[in-house]
A and B are shown apart, each in its own frame.
Chain A
Amino acid sequence: KQEVTQIPAALSVPEGENLVLNCSFTDSAIYNLQWFRQDPGKGLTSLLLIQSSQREQTSGRLNASLDKSSGRSTLYIAASQPGDSATYLCAVKPGPGTYKYIFGTGTRLKVLA
């Protein structure tokens, strides 16, 4: 059974710092992995989606990597800003014909001005 873990549960960093958020999964047979941002009381906003054949995806200050053999994905945020404060979640899609996504519990990030 696929399980997705995000450690730490919470993180505080000073503004301007580069940081890495972690996502681990137990079964390497995944179809894609998606990173989301969630602001308090809001829905999830998709940040990056990495297909199983890809190693990384980039969007602006965000870079997500995928290492299926080790069951890990990382989300790198460069030059963090207070506006980056939110909860970041990752989700794994096990297969192309599967419509059930497996979510991690998220990392709550606070960037201090």
Chain B
Amino acid sequence: DGGITQSPKYLFRKEGQNVTLSCEQNLNHDAMYWYRQDPGQGLRLIYYSQIVNDFQKGDIAEGYSVSREKKESFPLTVTSAQKNPTAFYLCASTGTGERGSNQPQHFGDGTRLSIL
């Protein structure tokens, strides 16, 4: 079955530490996204990528970094510059182009990041 796999499910970060969240998809989607979800708030876009080796900042990119070296993978690094990283992080993907633009957005099961 095609889908999106996020790992780990739970992650703990120490002060001053960078941590990386994994996102892998086998849906053959070109576009991938990272969202942050806080209690009582909607999803906020951190970064998105429309194609390999290209990515764009979303609304809350400060303190985060990404890479897109392979179509299937879009890892997110939460750096020590992100002072309030405790949240639920969701990875998503969609198709692109005329047909793909009207296809549903697919999500992984999320990673919950907490501060030690």
Contacts and interface: CB of A to CB of B under 8 A. Distances in A.
A100 B48 contact: yes
Contacts of A105: 40-42
B41 A32 contact: no
A98 to B, nearest CB: 9
A92 B50 CA distance: 18
B17 interface: no
B109 A99 contact: no
A97 B56 CA distance: 14
Given A51-B102, A99-B48, A100-B48, A45 B42 contact: no
A99 B90 contact: no
Contacts of B105: 34, 44, 46, 91, 101
Contacts, number: 61
Interface string B100-113: 01111111111010
Nearest to A48: B104
Interface residues of A, number: 26
A49 B102 contact: yes
Given A42-B109, A44-B107, A103 B90 contact: no
A32 B102 contact: yes
B104 A46 contact: yes
A100 B102 contact: no
A45 B107 contact: yes
Interface string A25-45: 000000110101000011111
Contacts of B107: 36, 43-45
B12 to A, nearest CB: 16
A61 to B, nearest CB: 19
Interface in B23-50: 31, 33, 40-43, 45, 48, 50
Interface string B72-100: 00000000000000001010101010100
Given A99-B31, A100-B58, 11 more contacts: A9-B40, A43-B4, A43-B6, A43-B107, A46-B105, A96-B98, A99-B96, A100-B45, A101-B33, A101-B105, A106-B42
The 3 closest A-B pairs by CB, nearest first: A46-B104, A43-B107, A103-B42
